[in-house]
Structure 1
């Protein structure tokens, strides 16, 4: 019987043929040097380049490497969820393959968790000077917004590089919600946690697979998944629009009573567009929540597994 791994390293990948050999060259010495049974579970998120071929080549000489290939690109968070659902280790580390997060930190994270009895160890970026100014500003705005909306447990500059105990992983896997953002979900569980810091590095090869559109989608999922504050905002905007409409009605009635000239099409246009804009904004916010409820009720899986070199094929939650 194969010995159960103490550590699982979950790595989501999408079109990373350029950086993959560099990532393997840095990760393998780290996990080999831990002195514990381990597995490296790479979730191939429907790559269209040579990533699947390179992974199979690596498996020839690296028996601890396990590949889970999704049938289609499901997104970064879904790929991580697929890895968490299949990881077998007592501790699970999630890390991206772009080498901006140093694999060498895994040993310190595992030691901290074991010595202090921690369920979660977060890796926070203490130095983001290698990121663009736009990236730093938007990241700061994202975490500040999340905390104002009630996600007080979230850690600033702690992304998806973390170590979790088996209890934490099982708690995450038991959550029924779709489109979950793990950097917010894991802290909200409230399990005992610690933190290590590191300097974010530059990507040594390839290009980012997280464009602005995916960043916006992540922000929307984070906001609608962590708080109902936007719904309250819609309520207040609707109330403000109603108050403004009533004031304008009083103004119009008074003007008519004293014989003042009624403003022309400009004022009408302003009123109509203002009220209409508020209504459309409120409908849009409500639509985001209704959409989440709809996808949850459908119960469709967020990813489909094509094959897993470690076990039989099935579909994810």
Structure 2
């Protein structure tokens, strides 16, 4: 169970941070007035995910003037989802809200999330983006494709356009803490738990400052992790491709025998090479899909923690 001191905290804000020296001053200037205005006891967990710029120093400066700010420092860069896990597992509030430091998700709607959860008895309130006009056309199209694919592979319970900006009740947080310490994709995992949920809509803003920490290759890895963590569809796809390949092979065999019987056998170098390349590519594709799942089984068997906490300023006060 969580610390008995958490009974006095109504709201925990979890902020994964990696090299956000330019965004931190704006984050503090917007987030603190919102939380102070709620009239609720709160804490802000700034999870420093191995930052290499001035982020650690800025967090220390902010903490001197903001007693509710709590710094959790990871020993190395472990990734956004791991930093989010570290924050949620250490949050002590009756409700926990996760939000990114870039302020593309507005902290001003946090009081609305809390009010909706209490009024309707909800355990989860998602922040849903209804307007992404500030994103590039490529980002909008890839995001739409991601959610379309996830809703068909993982299930219709996945809310469209809902990222990692959400409110969770204490029962949800405690449930997440009981799950194995593996790479979690929370935007898929949390909806799958089946807790009562609602939505708050908002317009997605531009980054407050700095550059994105989620470039194209990380978005591709997120999509791959999402698919292989919540669906066996790729394995079934590999099986289907194998079945189609057998049919193609049989058709090619019939064609070859027919040509041979008519006595007009071509030299066959081109067709032979194409056939070898085709079936070699199919085999490599199927092996690659199988390898992705085997790698996840290997990681799960190792049972290594996804992050290591070097420091928690809350523990220094005990």
Tell me the TM-score normalized by structure 2: 0.95
Aligned mates of 2:229, 2:155 — CA distance in 1 = 10
Cα shift readout 1:164-220 (whole Å, capped 9, x = no counterpart):
001111112222262221001111111100001001111121111111111011000
1:153 aligns with 2:157: yes
Kindly indicate whether the alpha-carbon contact (under 8 Å) linking 1:252 and 1:262 is maintained by their aligned counterparts in 2: no
Q: List alignment gaps of at least 5 residues for structure 1.
A: 313-317
1:100 aligns with 2:104: yes
Residue 271 of structure 1 deviates from its aligned partner by 0.7
Cα shift readout 1:236-269 (whole Å, capped 9, x = no counterpart):
0011111211221222223223322144211011
Aligned mates of 2:200, 2:310 — CA distance in 1 = 35
1:6 corresponds in structure 2 to 10
SS of 1:164's partner is: strand
Kindly indicate whether the alpha-carbon contact (under 8 Å) linking 1:5 and 1:38 is maintained by their aligned counterparts in 2: yes
Of residues 295-304 and 258-267 in structure 1, the stretch that sits farther from structure 2 once superposed is: 258-267
Tell me the TM-score normalized by structure 1: 0.96
How many residue pairs align between the two structures?
Answer: 312
1:134 aligns with 2:117: no
List aligned pairs for 1:47-126, cutoff 5 A: 47-126=51-130
1:176 corresponds in structure 2 to 180
Greater than 6 Å deviation, 4+ residue runs: none
Q: 1:177 to 1:154 in 2, by over 3 A?
A: farther
Match of 1:246 among 247, 250, 253: 250
Residue 148 of structure 1 deviates from its aligned partner by 1.6
Of residues 259-268 and 217-226 in structure 1, the stretch that sits farther from structure 2 once superposed is: 259-268
1:315 corresponds in structure 2 to none
Of residues 174-183 and 118-127 in structure 1, the stretch that sits farther from structure 2 once superposed is: 174-183
RMSD of aligned C-alpha atoms? 1.3
Kindly indicate whether the alpha-carbon contact (under 8 Å) linking 2:10 and 2:94 is maintained by their aligned counterparts in 1: yes
1:309 aligns with 2:313: yes
Kindly indicate whether the alpha-carbon contact (under 8 Å) linking 2:123 and 2:172 is maintained by their aligned counterparts in 1: yes
Match of 1:27 among 25, 31, 50: 31
Kindly indicate whether the alpha-carbon contact (under 8 Å) linking 2:181 and 2:306 is maintained by their aligned counterparts in 1: no
SS of 1:311's partner is: helix
Match of 2:199 among 195, 207, 210: 195
Aligned mates of 1:166, 1:8 — CA distance in 2 = 10
Q: List alignment gaps of at least 5 residues for structure 2.
A: none
SS of 1:232's partner is: helix
SS of 1:310's partner is: helix
